[in-house]
Every structure is written in structure tokens, then in C-alpha cells.
């Protein structure tokens, strides 16, 4: 019997993928300012990582101005941003690649200096990220997070609407699909998890109520795209940005079994063995495996990410734990990662100092393997 591998084809929605080495969504904070629109440098970066029949998931992009938590992140709510993304999409399509956009709202993982009008960030409840976790203000000062303002029940439909509009904007920009960012401690996860959601309305309390916002956003985005071009990303055992549910099984079992009948393009996990946002090297030992635990609840395509080597990725696919693997950090430093993994070529190490912000250095200047052979 032939087991599937990273280099077996895979059907995702209407797309016939030629391999299963995916680019994980990666915030790089290099959009044009003040428009926060993608620029030619961003198009070059994505085109470098595009392969015929390969799926790229573009970086998390806020669907509204209050959804930002970092400077230089590209948005998906203005005409200029749509036009900038169109250039990125065209460059990827020119190489035969497929590209989804990740839709984002950070909720409390922000600072008033980054908010329109300097107001407090919003969240399901007025619960601050623990003071020992730091963030940066718009002018670069390192500070603790503020206590966010709890959203009024009447404001929530407007945020769901912003996701719908962001999805429509992504369609207009020419993307092939969208992924909803429900991971890493951002707004959707703040609704899901009990310590950040203390609401007493229909969006808080029971697991079913805490899952309501995720479901409303997902259904709104499906109305724009059709389910088979929409993915959802979750991090059930993640600890990024002060997140972490004490007992993730009941919550995430409910969320996943609620999403399953929608017929989504895929479900995408972040395994807890990476830090989630790449800011530190975390070597979790004996942590649970989201793909192993939750796969039985998911009938569709399952992508996962988090500290995978090519070998570990092939094993996960061959064992049936996941259908595809998204690579983050090693795809940053190896623009031709699919080819390197296919041939077992050595990998260029990544430089964490250039992950977030800056220009071409550490972004578009990592060499391809063939260029290395020439030196
Ligand atoms: C620089 C950087 C930026 C990231 N930005 C995002 C993001 O925008 N959206 C997201 O869902 N995950 C983000 N992540 C998490 C990655 O998508 C991925 O899940 C994580 O890095 C684990 O995969 P890896 O071990 O292959 O790097 C980011 C990670 C890094 C290192």
C-alpha cells in the first residue's frame, strides 16, 4: 500500500494541489505606511514562495481598523489595500500558485496607540493580558497590555459584518480563498476561551455560547465565498498572547463538531509545540497533539503546523493524522522549501531578528538552493 506524503496531490475545495507543503500565515509587518497596503516588496516575497499547485496562506490581515495590534501589518478594508493585495495575488498566480488570505481581528492583543482615535482595544470582556507579557506602542515603547473595553452585545453584529466585508474584499482582490484566524489568543479565541470571555449574554457562559461568535463569523464568510473556499485556524493547546483554556477538549470538541457539517475547505491547527508567534523558541515536551486528538471529529481536510521538519511532516501525513503541513519559520528562510524538502537539500537557518518589520533583509533576500550551489 502506498501511503500519502508531502508530495502526493491533494484536492482542497475546487483546487487541485500538486503537493502538501503549505506556507503558514506569517505576520511580517512590512506593508506600506500609512496605507497599510501591500507593496511590490510583499508581492516579490509571496511570488518567491509560490509553486505550481502549491497553497500559500497569506499573513493575517485585519478586517477593520480596530483589528490591528502591530504597526506595518497589511489590512483588507480599504480600496488601496485591495489594490495592493491584487498585485500580490497576480504575482502568485503568474507562478501557478494558489493563495488564501487570513482574516484577522486581534481584540485585546493591541494598544490604544494603535487604535483609531486612541481608544482602548475591544474584547469580549474587560480582561487584560497578564502584565508580564509586553507589547509595543505605535512609537515603539515596550509596555504591558491595557485592560480592553468589553464589547456591547449590540456591537458584535458590526464586527461579524466587518469579517464579511473583509472576505468580500479578498474576493475582489483575486484571492483563491480565505482562512479565518481563530487561533493564537486573538478576538475569536478570546470569545472561545472561558478566562477571556466572562460575558453573560448569548456570546458568553456555556461552551455553545462562547462558540457563537466563531460560528457567526464563519457563516458570514461562507456566504461570500462558499464553504469550500473557506478555512478556519484554531490552536486548542496554544498559549500565545495570554491564551490557554484549562481543559480544551470539551470546548474544541464542540467547536470542531459545529464546524464540521459546514463543509469547509479545511481546518488548520497550530500544534502546541511551537510558540505560536515565533517570538521565542519553545520546546514543549510531551504536549498533546491537536491533530491526533481532534482528527476523529473532523471529516474534512486537516492542515496542521508547528515545528515540523520534512520527515515529521511526511510521518504525520502517512499516519493519517493530517492531510497537509503548513510551514512557518523554515519557509521564511527557504523560499524554495517544497523543492528542498523533495530533494532533501539542506535548509538555511532563519534569523528571528528580522521576522517582524524592516525591509528586504530577512524577507526577500534568503537564497534558493540553486543560488547556494553557485557560490
Ligand atoms: C514571524 C511569525 C509570524 C506569524 N504570524 C502568524 C499569523 O499572521 N497568523 C497565524 O495564524 N499564525 C502566525 N504565526 C504562526 C505560524 O503560522 C506557524 O503556525 C508557527 O510558526 C509554527 O510553525 P513553524 O514551526 O513551522 O514555524 C506566525 C509565526 C511566526 C514565526
Q: What are phi and psi of 27, to 5 degrees?
A: -70, 125
The pLDDT of residue 272 is 84
The pLDDT of residue 277 is 52
Cα(113) to centroid(ligand 1), Å: 24
The pLDDT of residue 373 is 65
Ligand 1 pocket: which of 243, 278, 349 to mutate (most atoms within 8 A of CB): 278
Ligand 1 atom 6: residue of nearest CA: 26
pLDDT digits (tens, 9 = 90+) for 81-129: 999 999 999 999 999 999 999 999 999 999 999 999 999 999 999 999 9
Ligand 1 atom 1: residue of nearest CA: 355
Ligand 1 pocket: which of 20, 24, 233 to mutate (most atoms within 8 A of CB): 24
The pLDDT of residue 2 is 78
Q: What is the pTM of this model?
A: 0.96
Ligand 1 atom 25: residue of nearest CA: 307
Ligand 1 pocket: which of 59, 74, 309, 328 to mutate (most atoms within 8 A of CB): 328
Per the residue annotation, which of 46, 77, 186, 350 is the catalytic one?
186
Ligand 1 atom 2: residue of nearest CA: 26
Which atom of ligand 1 is nearest to 102's Cα?
9
Cα(37) to centroid(ligand 1), Å: 20
Cα(36)–Cα(84) distance, rounded to whole angstroms?
Answer: 9
Cα(270) to centroid(ligand 1), Å: 8
Cα(286)–Cα(160) distance, rounded to whole angstroms?
Answer: 37
Cα(328) to centroid(ligand 1), Å: 5
Domains contained in the chain, CATH given: 12-374 (3.20.20.70)
Cα(319) to centroid(ligand 1), Å: 24
Q: Read off the C-alpha cell for 135.
A: 507589547
The pLDDT of residue 288 is 84
363 in active site: no
Cα(363) to centroid(ligand 1), Å: 15
pLDDT digits (tens, 9 = 90+) for 118-150: 999 999 999 999 999 999 999 989 999 999 999
The pLDDT of residue 310 is 96
The pLDDT of residue 283 is 52
Cα(1) to centroid(ligand 1), Å: 34
Q: Read off the C-alpha cell for 69.
A: 495590534
Which has the closest alpha carbon to 281: 314, 235, 329, 245? 329
Tell me which residues have their CB closer than 6 angstroms to ligand 1: 24-27, 59-60, 102, 181, 183-184, 233, 270, 274, 276-278, 305-308, 327-330, 355
Which atom of ligand 1 is nearest to 326's Cα?
26
The pLDDT of residue 350 is 97
Which atom of ligand 1 is nearest to 278's Cα?
31
Positions in the chain whose pLDDT score sits under 50: 276, 375
Ligand 1 pocket: which of 26, 178, 273 to mutate (most atoms within 8 A of CB): 26
Ligand 1 atom 11: residue of nearest CA: 25
Q: Do the beta carbons of residue 96 and residue 338 sit within 8 Å?
A: no
Amino acid at each position: 500500500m502506498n501511503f500519502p506524503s508531502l508530495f502526493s496531490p491533494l484536492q482542497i475545495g475546487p483546487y487541485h494541489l500538486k503537493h502538501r507543503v503549505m506556507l503558514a500565515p506569517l505576520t511580517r509587518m512590512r506593508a506600506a505606511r500609512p496605507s497599510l497596503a501591500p507593496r511590490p516588496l510583499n508581492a516579490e516575497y509571496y511570488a518567491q514562495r509560490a509553486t505550481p499547485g502549491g497553497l500559500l496562506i497569506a499573513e493575517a490581515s485585519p478586517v477593520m481598523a480596530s483589528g490591528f495590534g502591530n504597526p506595518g501589518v497589511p489590512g483588507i478594508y480599504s480600496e488601496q489595500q485591495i489594490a495592493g493585495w491584487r498585485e500580490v495575488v497576480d504575482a502568485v498566480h503568474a507562478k501557478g500558485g494558489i493563495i488564501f488570505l487570513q482574516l484577522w481581528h486581534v481584540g485585546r492583543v493591541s494598544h490604544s496607540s494603535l487604535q483609531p482615535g486612541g481608544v482602548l482595544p475591544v474584547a469580549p470582556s474587560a480582561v487584560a493580558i497578564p502584565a508580564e507579557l509586553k507589547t509595543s506602542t505605535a512609537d515603539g515603547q515596550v509596555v504591558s497590555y491595557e485592560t480592553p473595553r468589553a464589547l456591547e452585545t449590540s456591537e458584535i453584529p458590526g464586527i461579524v459584518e466587518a469579517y464579511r466585508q473583509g472576505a468580500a474584499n479578498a474576493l475582489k482582490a483575486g484571492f483563491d480563498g480565505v482562512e479565518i484566524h481563530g487561533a493564537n489568543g486573538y478576538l475569536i479565541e478570546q470569545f472561545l476561551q472561558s478566562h477571556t470571555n466572562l460575558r453573560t449574554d448569548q456570546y458568553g457562559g456555556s461552551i455553545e455560547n462562547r462558540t457563537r461568535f466563531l460560528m457567526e463569523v464563519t457563516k458570514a464568510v461562507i456566504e461570500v465565498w462558499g464553504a469550500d473556499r473557506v478555512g478556519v485556524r484554531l490552536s486548542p493547546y496554544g498559549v500565545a498572547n495570554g491564551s490557554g483554556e484549562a481543559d480544551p477538549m470539551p470546548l474544541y470538541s464542540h467547536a470542531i463538531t459545529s464546524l464540521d457539517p459546514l463543509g469547509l475547505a479545511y481546518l488548520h491547527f497550530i500544534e502546541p509545540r511551537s510558540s505560536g508567534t515565533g517570538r521565542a523558541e519553545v520546546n514543549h515536551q510531551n504536549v498533546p497533539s491537536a491533530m491526533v486528538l481532534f482528527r476523529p471529529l473532523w471529516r474534512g481536510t486537516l492542515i496542521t503546523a508547528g515545528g515540523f521538519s520534512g520527515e515529521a511532516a511526511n510521518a504525520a501525513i502517512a499516519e493519517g493524522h493530517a492531510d497537509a503541513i503548513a510551514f512557518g519559520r523554515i519557509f521564511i528562510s527557504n523560499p524554495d522549501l517544497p523543492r528542498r524538502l523533495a530533494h532533501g537539500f539542506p535548509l538555511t537557518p532563519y534569523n528571528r531578528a528580522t521576522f517582524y518589520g524592516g525591509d528586504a533583509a530577512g524577507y526577500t533576500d534568503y537564497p534558493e538552493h540553486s543560488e547556494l550551489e553557485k557560490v
